Amino acid sequence: MIEIKQLAKKFAVENPKKLSEQEKKDPRLKGRFFHSVQDVSFTCQKGQVLGLLGPNGAGKTTTLRMLSTALKPDGGSVEIDGDNVLTNPVIARKKIGFLSGSTGLYGRLTGRENIHYFGQLHGMSEESIASRIKELADLLDMHNFLDRRSENFSTGMKQKTAIARAVVHSPELVILDEPTTGLDIMATQTVLEFIRGLKEQGTPVIFSTHHLDEVEELCDKVTVIDQGCTMFDGDIASFKALAEGSLHQSFMAAIQSTTSE
């Protein structure tokens, strides 16, 4: 089980005068610090897909970056099966596969070489890397571009390669930050099928998205963040029950709540 408790992260504001009027009105701005994440808590069980929702600037990406140990929180804890990954980042990197908002591929390397390099970083054997790349290329439909240099990839090709790179070591938890943004219908469906496959294998997946149809199709749980705080954390049925109507109405009901669920 993945358990996140009371995560918090603030950033120093270098020049308050350069903030927009909207930023100045944000209640998270306190003195010379912006409290991007103030109090975020949720859990995700094995085999569950959790959809992380929130308005732009709510703190979703900051939260996911803390889960991956790319950012060090100011408070709170993240435990995977009882191991506090914040106090032992080495464990975190073994247990977690993380796809950030930008693919960050090495343009002069082929798709295969990008994935292979990360397999080496995780200490995998050459045989294991080769076998895993073939498996991922099958699952993500990558064979027709796998040996081309990634600087010439389309958005969909880059995203598929970045996902394969993130999970090459068969992590215990997969974190995806808006994995379908900018993808066409076919590429989106391939990524969603891949997430469904992870779920069937028992691998928990946490992914942020603005597409509520993806939430309805894939998610067992929903966590809604607004202004750096958890406003809802529950199963999909409970989320739908927040409003008599669409998931959009449930989302609006969650962020208009004044108390954490």
The residue that leads in pLDDT, 243 or 103, is: 243
Range 195-201 contact pairs with CB under 8 angstroms and sequence separation of 24 or more: 195/49, 197/139, 198/49, 198/167, 198/174, 199/47, 199/48, 199/49, 200/47
Quick one: pLDDT band at residue 257, thresholds 50, 70, 90? low
In angstroms, the CA 56 to CA 39 distance is: 17
Write out the residue range of the structural domain in which residue 74 sits: 2-104+171-255
pLDDT band at 103 (very low <50, low <70, confident <90, very high): low
Alpha carbon distance 15, 166 (integer Å): 35
Percent of the chain with pLDDT over 70: 97
Query: What are the residues facing 43 on neighbouring strands?
Result: 3
Residue 229 is part of a domain; what is its CATH number? Answer: 3.40.50.300
pLDDT at site 83: 83
What is the structure's pLDDT at 58? 93
Q: Please check whether residue 155 lies inside any domain of the structure.
A: no
The answer as to whether 29 is a domain residue is yes
Q: Is residue 227 part of a domain?
A: yes
| Mean pLDDT, range 51-75, rounded to an integer | 92
Q: Average pLDDT, stretch 125-137?
A: 97
Residues 179-186 have a mean pLDDT of 89
Q: What's the number of domains the chain is made of?
A: 1
Please indicate, yes or no, if residue 132 is contained in any of the structural domains: no
Q: 17, exposed or middle or buried, with CB in 10 Å at 0-12, 13-18, 19+?
A: exposed
Q: Which pair of tokens denotes residue 52? A: 């992380």
- Res 150: pLDDT: 95
Would residue 158 count as lying in a domain?
no
Residue 66 lies in a domain: yes
Is residue 48 a part of any domain in this protein?
yes
pLDDT of the residue at 114: 97
Query: Is 63's pLDDT higher than 50?
Result: yes
Dump the DSSP string for 103-146: ----TTSBHHHHHHHHHHHTT--HHHHHHHHHHHHHHHT-TTTT
If we measure between CA atoms, which residue out of 56, 69, 55, 92 comes closest to residue 7?
A: 69
**Is residue 216 in some structural domain?**
yes
